Structure 1
Amino acid sequence: MSILVKNTRKPNSNSQRAAWEEEPGVVAKAGKFLILGAVVLAVLGPLYTIVLTSVSSQATITQAGGLVLIPGEITFAAYQQILSGGVVTRAVLVSVGVTATGTLLSMVVSVLCAYGLSRPGSFAHTPILFTLLITMFFSAGIIPAYLLVSSLGLINTYWALILPSCISVFNIIILRGFFMGIDRGILDSARMDGASDWRTLTQIVLPMSKAVTAVIALFYGVGYWNAFFNAVLYINDSAMNPLQVVLRSYVLQGVTVPGQIDVGQGAAASPALQMAVIVLAMVPILIVYPFVQKHFTKGVMIGAVKG
């Protein structure tokens, strides 16, 4: 009779761990804390200075030498000036309209294109994909682009701020890769139940793709909000300029914004007004990002190496 003895010894868990899975020591933790702390200070420090300067009085700014680090007299006069009408207020409305319309149009075209290219046997699948990939590496240049926009009659129109940058081939490739990763059996079941391609896309594919679509929409939105080069090239009427062009002229070039309210000598070019315009340009992204952040990590990992 053989007796089976159960080995009750636990394997050495430390020997089975990879080097990067080991518990970090005190020195490693302190090093990480210092590095992350330095990064946080490098990001929040300028932001703190900008916001504090924008709500400081002219006397406090003059005493501080231009940028306020220690709070003094607080006033919101700069925000009242830029939001009471004039160029800045109109530029904000232009940027909001262009960003909302452009993001919606870009997402619709990108999703439709990516879904069509993700379906095997779709019409002209390979030539269209090859043509799109070529545009990622070769571009005609500024002059041919300007001539094309001019020939289409888009000069000095809001569409000139949207259509030239409406499509990002990189975003289409990301969406296509995610759509191709969806279980083929789910799509086949929908087709067997009589669902059309449009219904499959809207009721099955898109609900399963919230993470990647949220991230791509964020990419498009940030791109439209921060864009200024198209306005410099294609917009001749200063009243149609988006906020970033006003910000560039007002802050970087030190130009007084035409049509802005002036409450005293030098007030139109004060650092408080400049910093207030910068804060106004950052606020929409800071508001939108927390709602997309939960999808961001998963979305940006699409196409990464699987482990």
Structure 2
Amino acid sequence: MNRRFRLPSGQRGGAGDNLLAAALMVASMAAFVFNDTAVKVVTQTLPLSEAIALRGIVVTAILWAIAQRDGGVVWWPKGQRDRIMLSLRTVAEVSSTLVYLLALQLMSLGQLSAVMQATPLLIMLAAAVVFRERLGWRRLSAVGVGLVGVLLILRPGTGAFDASAILAVVAVVLIVVRDLASRGFTPAVRSSTVAFYAALAVTLGAPLTGELGDWRWPMGGEVMGLAISTVFLTIGYLTAVAVMRVGEVGFVSPFRYTALIFAFLVDLAVFGVWPAGWTWFGAGLVVAAGLYSIWREARLQDGSR
């Protein structure tokens, strides 16, 4: 297991800690799905750019407060490498968020969530290329299986493949860039600063989605939807951080795929959409490939071949 996730005095990684971490991971995935649901509902009547801006103002304020408790925001990192990584990550964060939310307006929540599950596999592949991390044929094969799963979900060459499918793929690629940039920071840059920059940049980038002339004062239901989105987004961020402080990464990572279950159930309950058979099959391949990669990584960490 990666040592940087261990707590002092060896007081983590027990059965109780892992169960708590698993519960936190499930809560985090549910919170992110409910946030997406609230955004999708609100943006049926409210311009997407306005929804992003209003929600972003509140989230940015919350992250500002957290950063102050952590020693304050570092507005301009001293090291050139950190400045480059912060700029790259911020641009990727804004781009991925806006593209993802545009795709969310056009696709079912379950289908988009299924495509997003391929992100860890692509990050693993990109890390092997960029950082020269070792990637054996088994995990490389798992990446290939996961990509086949994505193709089955999107089905290029059929009526199911349209502009929304392209947006989903672009969002995944941008998220990979964002996460790789995150690994390039030196310890001098605190996570709270990075999170604050991301939230602020996304808020300021909201007008890029257009419809500025349609902005208006939100109605009661829209305000409630934005409030629900903000609450769940904050819960998602906090629980995602807490997971890494409590349990073993190898144990809790598989619970990340509960997002698919929540997405499919919410799609049915809120939007009356049930995934097509190809989506189920493709999602199954993506999840299976991801779980195998996690298991294989754990074997390698234990010194097994």
TM-score by length of 1: 0.27
TM-score by length of 2: 0.27
Which of 1 and 2 has higher RCO (CA within 8 Å, sep 6+)?
Answer: 2
